Amino acid sequence: MIWKMVMVNLLIALLGTACTSTGPIRSGQFPIIDAHGHIGASFKSTMILELMDKNGVSKQIVMARYYPGPAGYFDLPGDDELALKLAEKYPGRFYPLVGMQRPLLTGADKWTTPDADVESLIRETERKLASGKFFGIGEFIVRHWAYSSGRHAEQDNPIYSELMRRFSKLAARYDVPMVIHMEGYPTLVTDFSRLIAENPGTRYVWAHSCGRSKAAVIRNVLSRFPNLFCDLGGMTNVGKHYGSGWPRMEEFTSLIERDGVFLPEMKSLYEEFPDRFMVGMDIAHAPAMRSYSRHVRRFHELLEQLSPEARAKIAEQNAIRIYKLAR
Ligand SMILES: [Zn+2]
């Protein structure tokens, strides 16, 4: 009787595998590091780990989101302690950054002239980096398009500002990268270029395919600045997500793929600069964890289109090197 049940369960498991692998690419064929992850109090750590294991995600960069989720969406805010606890609970799987999605950093004036609260945040960040338990700072919300009211509304903060200069120095001193969310408006690309040029010892990760910029712009900045990297966080075009052009597209933005095929100009970039890109699922809100597998599967499918060298680097090796995960 027990054997019969075991056989039935085995059959169900096999059928389940068969059903989920109808596409040409199966998840888990090569390991991936999720280099753009978030955490809030509504996320369930066991669920995250289960989804990572199921999809062949070896490690995750995790950034606390201090904002609550959009109104009507059950999604509590988080903090760095939460990210740290996750890292301690599952050693070698989660790598926290000092989180910068904070209500405190709302408003351009805080960026140009740091007030007492911002000064204390800078000191607190330094203390956290000195502990050796954090692997970067971010993500900084510089230019963000609204997808709800409240904290996820439009944000327009200056990239070339006292705040960014201070954090750039701190990041260089502690040898950790900064993650920047900034839609690639041409004037902002110019301002950012100035910040990067003045801080050659700071590693900058410009999230979401360098602000969803077009290939020519990405090629230009990567050629000029060896200390600049792009994460492809959320750029999988699998539904209502950044990668699909949601919540907005502009003349200067680009997708990276259509129907699971890299745009040719983007694919050329990855082969040309295989050391400069990383992938990430960018699940910012707990209820969206249900789409985690879909994003990883799509990245597997996309990365399969690259040469083995570029694939291994972008899937895993670059994140280890850029964030110094092996330290
Ligand atoms: Zn972002």
Separation of CA 264 and ligand 1 centre (Å): 24
Separation of CA 283 and ligand 1 centre (Å): 10
CA distance 194 to 294: 37
- pLDDT at position 161 is 98
Separation of CA 181 and ligand 1 centre (Å): 5
Separation of CA 198 and ligand 1 centre (Å): 24
Separation of CA 275 and ligand 1 centre (Å): 21
Separation of CA 242 and ligand 1 centre (Å): 9
Q: To 10 degrees, the CA torsion angle through 12, 15, 19, 22?
A: 160
CA distance 249 to 60: 28
Query: pTM for the complete prediction?
Result: 0.90
Give the CB-side neighbour count of residue 326, counting CA atoms within 13 A.
Answer: 7
CA distance 316 to 34: 8
- pLDDT at position 16 is 33
Q: Which residues contact 288 (CB under 8 A, 6 or more apart)?
A: none
- pLDDT at position 12 is 34
- Per the listing, tokens 């295989």 go with 274
CATH H superfamily, domain 31-322: Metal-dependent hydrolases (3.20.20.140)
- pLDDT at position 3 is 40
Separation of CA 278 and ligand 1 centre (Å): 14
CA distance 253 to 306: 23
CA distance 70 to 215: 32
Tokens coding 243: 């990668």
Enumerate the domain spans of the chain. Answer: 31-322
Separation of CA 141 and ligand 1 centre (Å): 7
Question: What three-state secondary structure class fits 64?
Answer: strand
**Could you please report the per-residue DSSP string of 264-283?**
HHHHHHHHHSTTSEE-----
230 strand-pairing partners: 206, 277
- Per the listing, tokens 């850029």 go with 322
Separation of CA 113 and ligand 1 centre (Å): 24
Q: pLDDT 10s per residue in the chain (327 long)?
A: 344 433 334 333 333 333 333 333 454 479 999 999 999 999 999 999 999 999 999 999 999 999 888 777 778 999 999 999 999 999 999 999 999 999 999 899 999 999 999 999 999 999 999 999 999 999 999 999 887 666 567 899 999 999 999 999 999 999 999 999 999 999 999 999 999 999 999 999 999 999 999 999 999 999 999 999 999 999 999 988 888 898 899 999 999 999 999 999 999 999 999 999 999 999 988 888 999 999 999 999 999 999 999 999 999 999 999 999 987
- pLDDT at position 149 is 60
Separation of CA 85 and ligand 1 centre (Å): 22
